[in-house]
Structure 1
Amino acid sequence: MDPLAIISGTITIVESILSTYNTIRHLQGLPKAFEEVGQNLPLAKETLQLARRQLKRANPDEPEKRAIEPVIRGCQQKVEALNDILKKIENSKDQEGDAQHWSTLAGFYHRVVVPMGKAYRVENLMGDIMDKLKALAIHQMFKAATQGQIEKLEKAIKELSEVEPSLPDSEFEIGGGNVNQNISDQGRGFVSKGGYVDNTMGNKFSAAKDMNFEATSTPLRFEEIQHEMFQISRMAPGAGTWLVESPEFIEWRDGKLQKLWYYGIAGVGKTVLASIIINHLHTRYSANTDVACIYVYFDYRKHQTQSLADIFSSLLVQLLRGGNYVANEIQEVYETWGVTHLHPGLEEYLKMLKSQAKRFQKVYMIVDALDECCGDTKKNTMNSFLRACQELPENVYMLFTSRPGLNSRLVKPDREFEITANAIDIKSYLNKSIESHPNLRAIIETGLKTDIAFRCRTFLLAHLHMEFLASKLTLGAFEHGLTQLSSTPNEVYDAALERITGQNEDRRQLAIRVITWIVFAERALTVTELIHALAIQDAASQIESSKRVIPKASATSETEWALTSACAGIVVGVVENDTGFLRLAHGSAEEYLRNGQSILFQDSQSTLAETCLHCLTNVPTKYSQVTADDFSQDYPFFRYAATYWGKHLSLKVKGSTYKLAWEFLADKRLLNRSVRAIDDSKICQERDVSGMHVAAYFGLVHLVRKAMGFRKRLDINARTQRNETPLHWAAAYRQREFLEFLVIQDADLNATNVDNRTPLHIAMMNEDTMSVSLLLATKRVNLELPDSQGYTPLTRAAFQGQLSMVEKLLKAGAAVDAHDKDDWTALRWAAQKGYKMIARLLINHGASIEPPSSDNWTLLRWAATYNRGDVITLLSEMRVDMNATDADGLTALRWAVSHDQAMTTWLLIQARADINKRDKKWVTPLHAVAERCHQSNSSNHILWLLLENHANVNAQTKNHGLTPLHMAASGGNDSAVWLLLEKGADPSKLDVNSRTALHCAVGSDNLRVAQLLIWRASGLVNAFDHEKRTVLHYAASQGNRSIVEMLLNSGADIDAQDGSGQTPLSLAVSQSHEDVAVCLIRSGANLDMPCKKKRPVVYLDKLAASMGNAVIVNAIRQARAE
């Protein structure tokens, strides 16, 4: 839209805000923020008028218009938002019986603003408006006209930022965030730093909210894997160069191939090569913000955490870090999360990823180890992932790595290539390895290096062979070792285990324990944690016999080298974020050890669980007073033990381990100390935790049943500090077997925590269908208990869009019209969130479509406002009254029209909605759309739709007598005016002030509309209003020379006098409109007519002299001389 039209429309809205503000300004107790807004509205209007006038004079070209349009439009959007909020307050005031005190409206204002966020508080909206106006005022196009406004605007911005907030902060309110605007224009732009908005203006626009999007998701730490793998690649200097210089890779990188697939056997270095590719792309395009590189590292060991939603959220977070733009879809999801704190689903993440990817010129996506993506037939994860990849935009270029055997039809690559271990890379790796082993360096000759390289067909074999050969101390032993090198990884693992078992007893046991922890630990242990765990294992027998405390980490003597050397090359050390870890040399080693070496790792879970329990029960009591950092330094294994002991116990363990576990659970002091160390942000804050709570957390049904067999005392309804029972914890952590056990034991199903939530609430919020079914099946659950936010289980399920939950609750007898504290029913939440199936289900179960509420919400009104045609159709089929009105007399059709919903308007007309139904002010839908036609193109479509269906084109409003033509003429939309005239609008119709549509057009500086009206009704040019003012008076008063000239050419009476005796010329002179005054003088205006009828009589010469305008005085003298 043209910037001039936007400014004119914005001025009209500001005038409406001024009018609305005047109706609430006298309220007692009105927050000072509102008063501050009211004081600044005239300044906003004045600045906009100056900008409009200057824009007309400047007549900018298209690039200049594009440069300023975003800020002008942004200003308009903020003005519309402010107008909308104040209008709602005004309506609420009327509904409250003309309320006199703010306290009666404060709750309503809170409900309106809090869901939208701090940015929609009236003072913040006004601050944004002033920031944008300041940005306009200092632009070179406007600076001459608006220079005097800058200081005023800066003062207003400062005062608005310092005023007491109109609302106290709320934890449910979305943070306003700083908005950075950037529009580049080859040096013609400007920069404004004011308040909390930075504007840079030119041709390119972006808006990025200061959002912590990672809080809305659980992104996976692929960056750590990338760092680790690339560090490994440095073990072979120059590795991967052959790949990034290969023709197929360059074709893919340059955009000639969409998908590239590399496959190779285990150990050839696919993952390391993926990290080299990622680093290559990052380095090559580091300075190009239009190119992004994102990546996924699949790992079969992490299927539980690598859900598709988490994978795509991780890709999205990487993409957001790579650019300054944030797509609208992402901002909307972030704002929704700020209110609901519900994580988006897979479909939402994929939609956001696609939207954000389109903002880049090119996005590279590297997917490593695709074959390790979960192939679960129920979830069909790999197929789902690849289908989602197919939906990504064409500017996303994908590269996959995998083992052979994957069906290429799933990937659908443009090219596929087999990766084999590159001889040069292997030789480089061997040279580096030999350099790092002094004994090898001393005995290996060049020829032997070549022999080793020949035998090492993969990097995995190279590493394992080097570890084997490094144990040879003489040349003879080394050469003999060369003859024993194995040709497959499994043969190498067999040989390594032989070397491990052939060591002395201490080193053999050390190696087995190290490998046990690495293979069976629930997460990777740091070197420090592992060494401390081994020390606790060593001390376990002494602890049991003498009740000694466990050793500190500083008392241990093992080193990383001692651990890795004992493991014969199967274990390697890596560094991630400056922290050392031990891991298996390759993923295939874990599979080999788990599946083929069960004899070596008998009772491994018992060993790990007991080590954890010894750690938790034998830390000195004095450590309850030391700092967390000191404690972690002395007992680094304690956090792992607290977090995972129950996980190890829940697997297959021996009987004595259960005894140790129950002794721990029975000691509340020890238990609560360990709970504070659990790596769970919620649990670690809890206090007064019982053994049953922790058993529920880990799902330790077998342990509790054993305790019952020994007649141990169990409190199944014990309460924590947050008033939660074990049943709450079982529901929260999806321990369904334990939940069922508690139900059978007659646990209190309706116990409420500090948030007034029952276990049913918790299970539903977790979307745990099976647990909900278990609870409902008891028929002992109270379905109508509201939580602290007023949600019953049914309203909560509708709010979260859980169709199956809603079905279960309705079947169980939940009250269909139960409402929350804001009077929102389940149907209202389903409608608001767009859950069509849930809404239909609730309606079919008898939900009221007009539930009682403080804001008179109805389903029909909502559907009309938010373009929900499906709901309109459903209600029409139910024969709902389409002409029902709200407190202001507005129908659904009126709401649809006012919100530019063309399709909904058409559906309502088809449903026989009354097209000419008037509200209490006699405003019809046609009036409403005519008033909005200058704001959006869709309004023109709606206007045509109403006129085609016989809307009364000459209907007049009650108080002002305005026709739709009056309103369209004020807005300045010549298309709308033309359409109204074609459909029979009478241009001579007068409002209560005897104004025609031409008066409205000229009064709003709308030249084209004025021309159109005169062309259709030339006699209007000298029509006058109730003050005897003609349209020429209006144009002269506005200072619009173009319209003045057009009116004179159309036969306007140049010397017409209004009721006070003023002519167009005297008005122009009195308001110092030089251009207009000179134009009228030169066009022959009578210079000797008195300027007003009342005495004393004032003539033009004296009026011009009193104004001190030399240009006008000289023009009069020159005209008289001529």
Structure 2
Amino acid sequence: MMKNKIVFILGICIALIAVCSFSLAAPIHEVIMQGDIEKIKQVLDEGADINAKDMEHDEDSPLHIAVEGGALDIIKYLIDKGAQVDAKNKYGVTPLHMAALKGQLGMVKYLVENGAEVNLEDRVHKGTSLHAAVFSGNLKLVGYLISKGAQINIQDRYGKIPLHIAVEEAHPDIARYLIDWGADVNIKDQNNETPLFVAIHSCRSPFELFTYLIDKGADIEARDEMGSTPLHIAAGEGRMDILKHLITKGAEIEVKENSGRTPLHIAAETNQTKIVKYLVEKGAKLDVKTNDGRTPVDLAGEGNWEVIIKYLISKGAQADTASLSEDLDISIYDAAIIGDIKKVKELLQGGALINQRGDEQEGTPLHAAASGGNIEVISYLIEKGAELEALDKYGKTPLHVAAEKGNLQAVVYLKDKGAKINVVSEGYYEGSPLHAAVHENHLSVVEYLVTEGAELEARDKFEKTPLYIAAEEGYLEIVQYLTEKGADINAKSDSGLMPTNIAIQNMYSAIAEYLLSKGGKIEDEASKDECVDCEKKIQR
């Protein structure tokens, strides 16, 4: 999926990059790059071809180069003098494609008002200006193009409609807008994936967008090219919130993909311990076989996922392979992570050390329980003397782990039992639990921690605040929440960049525009040049 995304914009981006070098460009192209309108007038008066193609650089026209430069006055002058508004370079990219990808609403309006065709496809990837506008994250631009006749359900070479892109790029406002205007929530791309599949694959796409797609009629039993349903994908990628919602909505738990694997097979094969446990609790069959005769425990055995092997066998799965029946003594760490309270009690009574980190374990049993999210196990371990501030091998406390995993109930319970909310880990990131929750896009945990007094300006090893990380990772809702709660939107990391800078560099235009509207600053020229539809805001 990421590959398709990169390939889609490659044709446009090559054109944008190429115009940055003009040593071999024709005089008209060179003076436009320099941005001197008087020199442009002079060269044209001397007979330069206003539609000349730069044969050294992707056959860009002067208008292409003017759009990349971002000077609307030059664009207006060239069009007034007869520049072809829909000129195509060798990739079939028009000036409108370029302006839309850059999120330049004013520029797009002028081009369309002067005859630019909104539904032209580029030659290589068959993307339209609407596809490009959705990539930019500019909702107003998307709305404008639709008002001018942009086709909402047009597919690019990869079968993606703009809605696929909005979901993948985590632009929920644009996705909702497209659906309201008729986007087909069940249209499939070349991988046979609907936007619902894309929402599951994209770690940045918010859970609320996933549920919105279902509310708008997305088929929860749709099949991709491998025969997988959304439940298979959620199981394999560890998306517990999505998996639970799908099952609540009636998704078939024993459904098989083309090779005969059920969601339980997928979860066991990919070492998704929590998913395995949840599916078993929901009645998933333990010994169902794939087309080639393998059970979930067989697949877990192939990956040497001992915790899952032990759990499945403890629940009655049959281990046909001799190697799986050997040395299956479950450790207290394993029991804690899978939430087996009976086994935890048995092992503690048998002498297991409650605060010792084993050679192969990442942390103490309480770390494991925090990761698994089982409140009964967490409560029992604390009652028996588990250290709340014990550190795992990464320097994280159980509260860090619970926050990182998005286990809100565990976070609340640990905090209520006295866990330090602003403790800084001693590992690679040296961050707080709030940093951990932000890193993994767990908005509900972020909200709770902030409400309970988490420091908004806490710094990790790289001097990044939680807001900086949210901007860097593309988590718009968290950026908005932290900003509303008073986080410093101009706090610099050790690289000297501020949240707005990093949002621009990572092409999160919706975040960049939001931060600018709230007073975000841009100090380095590179970010100013890259800013999407931000020139007027920067000047304020």
* 1:772 counterpart = 2:108: yes
The answer to whether the 8 A contact 1:750-1:782 is kept is no
The answer to whether the 8 A contact 1:902-1:942 is kept is yes
The answer to whether the 8 A contact 1:115-1:339 is kept is no
Residue pairs, 1:39-438, within 5 angstroms: none
CA drift of 1:840 comes to 2.8
CA drift of 1:339 comes to 12
CA distance in 2 between partners of 1:915 and 1:974 (Å): 24
* 1:818 counterpart = 2:157: no
Tell me the equivalent position of 2:247. 909
Alignment partner for residue 31 of structure 2, among 685, 688, 694? 694
* 1:791 counterpart = 2:139: no
Alignment partner for residue 283 of structure 2, among 921, 940, 950? 950
Residues 1:849 and 1:907: Cα distance change in structure 2 (over 3 Å)? same
1:329-365 deviations in Å (ceiling 9; x for gaps)? xxxxxxx99996899xxxxxxxxxxxxxxxxxxxxxx
Q: 2:323 is matched by which residue type in structure 1?
A: G
1:695-726 deviations in Å (ceiling 9; x for gaps)? 6853526984x999xx9868544444354443
Tell me the equivalent position of 1:22. none
Q: 1:786 is matched by which residue type in structure 2?
A: D
Tell me the equivalent position of 1:930. 268
Q: 1:805 is matched by which residue type in structure 2?
A: L
Residues 1:826 and 1:112: Cα distance change in structure 2 (over 3 Å)? closer
Residues 1:910 and 1:718: Cα distance change in structure 2 (over 3 Å)? same
Tell me the equivalent position of 1:855. 191
CA drift of 1:112 comes to 8.9
Tell me the equivalent position of 1:870. 208
Q: 2:228 is matched by which residue type in structure 1?
A: L
Alignment partner for residue 726 of structure 1, among 49, 62, 77? 62
The answer to whether the 8 A contact 2:103-2:136 is kept is no
The answer to whether the 8 A contact 2:101-2:135 is kept is no
Residue pairs, 1:1042-1081, within 5 angstroms: none
The answer to whether the 8 A contact 1:783-1:793 is kept is yes
CA distance in 1 between partners of 2:269 and 2:153 (Å): 38
CA distance in 2 between partners of 1:764 and 1:922 (Å): 44
Tell me the equivalent position of 1:843. 179
The answer to whether the 8 A contact 2:11-2:93 is kept is no
The answer to whether the 8 A contact 1:931-1:964 is kept is yes
The answer to whether the 8 A contact 2:91-2:123 is kept is yes
The answer to whether the 8 A contact 2:166-2:175 is kept is yes
CA distance in 2 between partners of 1:779 and 1:114 (Å): 30
Q: Which has the higher contact order (CA 8 A, sep 6+)?
A: 2
The answer to whether the 8 A contact 2:11-2:91 is kept is no
CA distance in 2 between partners of 1:865 and 1:843 (Å): 20
CA distance in 2 between partners of 1:112 and 1:764 (Å): 20
Residue pairs, 1:257-656, within 5 angstroms: none
Q: 2:281 is matched by which residue type in structure 1?
A: E
Tell me the equivalent position of 2:521. none
CA distance in 1 between partners of 2:39 and 2:201 (Å): 56
Tell me the equivalent position of 1:750. 86
The answer to whether the 8 A contact 2:232-2:266 is kept is yes
Structure 1: runs of 5 or more not aligned: 1-110, 117-171, 173-335, 344-679, 988-995, 1012-1122
Residues 1:903 and 1:731: Cα distance change in structure 2 (over 3 Å)? same
Residues 1:745 and 1:873: Cα distance change in structure 2 (over 3 Å)? same
Q: 1:683 is matched by which residue type in structure 2?
A: F
Tell me the equivalent position of 2:527. none
CA distance in 2 between partners of 1:850 and 1:904 (Å): 18
Alignment partner for residue 759 of structure 1, among 63, 79, 95? 95
CA distance in 2 between partners of 1:340 and 1:715 (Å): 25
Give the structure with higher Rg (CA): 1
CA distance in 1 between partners of 2:12 and 2:177 (Å): 25
**SS of equivalent to 2:183:** coil
Aligned-CA RMSD value: 4.2
The answer to whether the 8 A contact 1:930-1:967 is kept is yes
CA distance in 2 between partners of 1:1007 and 1:747 (Å): 77
The answer to whether the 8 A contact 1:969-1:1009 is kept is no
The answer to whether the 8 A contact 1:930-1:968 is kept is yes
Residues 1:975 and 1:338: Cα distance change in structure 2 (over 3 Å)? farther
Residues 1:713 and 1:849: Cα distance change in structure 2 (over 3 Å)? same
Alignment partner for residue 22 of structure 2, among 662, 683, 700? 683
Q: TM-score, normalised by structure 2?
A: 0.51
Q: 2:132 is matched by which residue type in structure 1?
A: R
1:667-693 deviations in Å (ceiling 9; x for gaps)? xxxxxxxxxxxxx95222213x34x97
CA distance in 2 between partners of 1:956 and 1:852 (Å): 29
Alignment partner for residue 881 of structure 1, among 219, 230, 253? 219
Residues 1:891 and 1:338: Cα distance change in structure 2 (over 3 Å)? same
Identity %: 23
CA distance in 2 between partners of 1:943 and 1:953 (Å): 10
Residues 1:713 and 1:835: Cα distance change in structure 2 (over 3 Å)? same
CA distance in 2 between partners of 1:1010 and 1:977 (Å): 10
Tell me the equivalent position of 1:6. none
* 1:829 counterpart = 2:165: yes
CA distance in 2 between partners of 1:712 and 1:973 (Å): 74
1:794-844 deviations in Å (ceiling 9; x for gaps)? 222233434343232222211223333333333333333333333333333
Q: 2:149 is matched by which residue type in structure 1?
A: G
CA distance in 1 between partners of 2:200 and 2:32 (Å): 52
CA distance in 1 between partners of 2:88 and 2:156 (Å): 17
Q: 1:807 is matched by which residue type in structure 2?
A: G
Residues 1:929 and 1:713: Cα distance change in structure 2 (over 3 Å)? closer
CA drift of 1:912 comes to 2.0
CA distance in 2 between partners of 1:736 and 1:847 (Å): 32
CA distance in 2 between partners of 1:959 and 1:798 (Å): 43
Q: 2:70 is matched by which residue type in structure 1?
A: R
Residues 1:953 and 1:1003: Cα distance change in structure 2 (over 3 Å)? closer
Residues 1:823 and 1:883: Cα distance change in structure 2 (over 3 Å)? closer
CA distance in 1 between partners of 2:304 and 2:76 (Å): 69
1:842-899 deviations in Å (ceiling 9; x for gaps)? 3333233344543222222222333542332012211322122234432110111122
CA distance in 1 between partners of 2:43 and 2:149 (Å): 38
Tell me the equivalent position of 2:233. 895
CA distance in 2 between partners of 1:820 and 1:893 (Å): 27
**SS of equivalent to 1:890:** coil
The answer to whether the 8 A contact 2:160-2:188 is kept is no
Residues 1:732 and 1:703: Cα distance change in structure 2 (over 3 Å)? closer
Aligned length: 326
**SS of equivalent to 2:85:** coil
The answer to whether the 8 A contact 2:105-2:141 is kept is yes
CA distance in 1 between partners of 2:121 and 2:90 (Å): 13
The answer to whether the 8 A contact 2:235-2:263 is kept is yes
Tell me the equivalent position of 1:128. none
Q: 2:200 is matched by which residue type in structure 1?
A: A
Residues 1:340 and 1:1007: Cα distance change in structure 2 (over 3 Å)? farther
Tell me the equivalent position of 2:371. none
Q: 1:698 is matched by which residue type in structure 2?
A: G
**SS of equivalent to 1:1007:** coil
* 1:1003 counterpart = 2:342: no
Q: 1:700 is matched by which residue type in structure 2?
A: I
The answer to whether the 8 A contact 1:699-1:737 is kept is no
Q: TM-score, normalised by structure 1?
A: 0.26
Structure 2: runs of 5 or more not aligned: 332-540
Tell me the equivalent position of 2:143. 807
Residues 1:809 and 1:930: Cα distance change in structure 2 (over 3 Å)? same
